[in-house]
Amino acid sequence: MRDAAVPAPVRPAFVMGYTLAQIGAYVAFVPLLNIVLPIQADTLSPGNGSLVLSQVAILGALAAGATNFIAGTVSDRAEGPLRGRRPWIVGGALATSAACLAIVAVPTSGALVLAVVLFQIALNIMFGPLNAVLADRVPDVQKGMVSAMIGLGFPVATLFAALVIAVLLRDQTLRMLVVAATVITLVVPFGLGLKEPTRQAAPLGLRRLSFYALRDRDFLMAFVSRLLVQVAITLNVLYLLFFLQQETDIGRRFPDLRAEAILGWLMAAATMASLVVGFAGGFLSDRFRRRKAFVASGALMMGGGALLLIAMPQWPGPLVAQLLFGAGLGLYSTVDVALVAEVLPSRENAGRDLGIMNLAITLPQFAAPLLGMLLISMAAQAMTWIFASAAVFALAGALAVARISKVM
């Protein structure tokens, strides 16, 4: 990142607060995408749940991408009461919690689409500025360590979804009440206490809402890598429950367990692998000053997990496959955060450029369900083809990150 001003080292209290806020942000959507939304879609449209889920995911992803980019840009430049990251983080967290409850209150699949779009808008008003805090406040020498800590967000939220949402709770409304309360408890205190760095005043105009950062080759390669790998991740998130129901023997092996409970235990096992491998990877990438090898290795592990799921669909194959996929996800997502923060063209426009980078997460939420819909409608054994596609995308993402030159 090319800036004259280098942030001061951050203290443990900041790291802990930021980590809790990231966990809260991930709790907002991981249980929704993995568990609540598939069940809600199938309840409102019996027999067509996977298609409704795909449609909801596509429109929600479009709303998420646009909102994250705009919110990040505006939080770079806004003046007055909306200046900085704080009001967007706090306001977005409150709006996200309200949208969580709306999703389980809707009576039709059409209303579900609208509720998810509103949820994605609220979530990304919070998430864009929250992610930009890493570039604002953390120097390069601590980015791996802080990324390892905030990288706990996704796996801890997944564990929360698996054990609390899928296994412990059964009522959909109660599930989302717990999610909403968790988001407010973890995100709002950090947002209210956030100390903002001084920013140079500059007008907010169309020029600031540009995609100029993509002209930087390393930023572009990081974007492409994340885009490809996120397609693999999104396919796994959206269709794993359906794969378990259609392609495995879990119904015969575990006749007394609900499919979503088995999914929950698989998610829990994968999350533990993700936690251990991701946490170690973040610290080791700081120590050895190597990011690319860790990121590429994580992508390859995810690809291997997807292929293993296809090759060994009978139990315990799904467990081994998700352990490998989870370990790769933890390694990739943790170190990729640090890598991206280092290839940002400018700290001055961190919110905008991270909003652009976030499109590499939200566009797959559009592309993956679109691909899923195509394969479901055209191919026999569609779930097998979906996870084969996930493996191909993960491999391509590993190859893309190798082309970055600015970061070792």
Across residues 217-236, what is the average pLDDT? Answer: 89
Residue 82 has pLDDT above 70, yes or no: no
Tens digits of residue pLDDT in 231-289: 999 899 888 888 888 877 777 777 777 777 788 788 888 888 988 898 788 778 877 77
Across residues 108-134, what is the average pLDDT? Answer: 89
**CATH fold for domain 12-195+209-401:** Growth Hormone; Chain: A; (1.20.1250)
Instruction: Compute the CA torsion angle 97, 228, 329, 59 (nearest 10 deg).
Output: 20
Across residues 34-51, what is the average pLDDT? Answer: 79
Please, is 68 exposed, middle or buried when counting C-beta atoms within 10 Å of its C-beta (0-12, 13-18, 19+)? buried
Across residues 108-132, what is the average pLDDT? Answer: 89
Residue 340 has pLDDT above 70, yes or no: yes
The residue that leads in pLDDT, 282 or 78, is 282
Q: What is the pLDDT of residue 394?
A: 95
Reported confidence tier of residue 207, pLDDT bands at 50, 70, 90: very low
Residue 186 has pLDDT above 80, yes or no: yes
Contacts 24+ apart (CB under 8 A), 211-214: 211/356, 212/345, 213/344, 213/345, 213/349, 213/352, 213/353, 213/356, 214/356
Q: What is the pLDDT of residue 175?
A: 92
Distance CA 135, CA 244 (A): 39
Mean pLDDT, the chain, as a whole number?
Answer: 83
The residue assigned the tokens 């909403």 is 180
Angle at 242 between CA 240 and CA 247, to 5 degrees: 95
The residue that leads in pLDDT, 4 or 399, is 399
Q: Are 53 and 37 in contact (CB under 8 A)?
A: yes
Six-digit token string for 321: 């496959």
Q: Which amino acid is at 43?
A: T
Q: What is the pLDDT of residue 196?
A: 72
The residue that leads in pLDDT, 322 or 216, is 322
Q: What is the pLDDT of residue 167?
A: 77
Q: What is the pLDDT of residue 206?
A: 42
Three-state SS at 203: coil
Residue 119 has pLDDT above 90, yes or no: yes
Q: Are 208 and 342 in contact (CB under 8 A)?
A: no
Reported confidence tier of residue 205, pLDDT bands at 50, 70, 90: very low
Residue 4 has pLDDT above 80, yes or no: no
Distance CA 332, CA 300 (A): 9
Across residues 91-99, what is the average pLDDT? Answer: 95
Reported confidence tier of residue 80, pLDDT bands at 50, 70, 90: low
Residue 201 has pLDDT above 70, yes or no: no
Residue ranges of the domains in the chain?
A: 12-195+209-401
Q: What is the pLDDT of residue 179?
A: 94
Q: What is the pLDDT of residue 29?
A: 86
Q: What is the DSSP letter of 408?
A: -
Residue 81 has pLDDT above 80, yes or no: no
| Cα separation values, 166 from 38, 113, 134, 170, Å | 12, 22, 31, 7
CA 224 to chain centre: 16
pTM listed for this prediction: 0.73
Q: What is the pLDDT of residue 18?
A: 93
Least confident range from 155-159, 196-200, 375-379, 400-404: namely 196-200
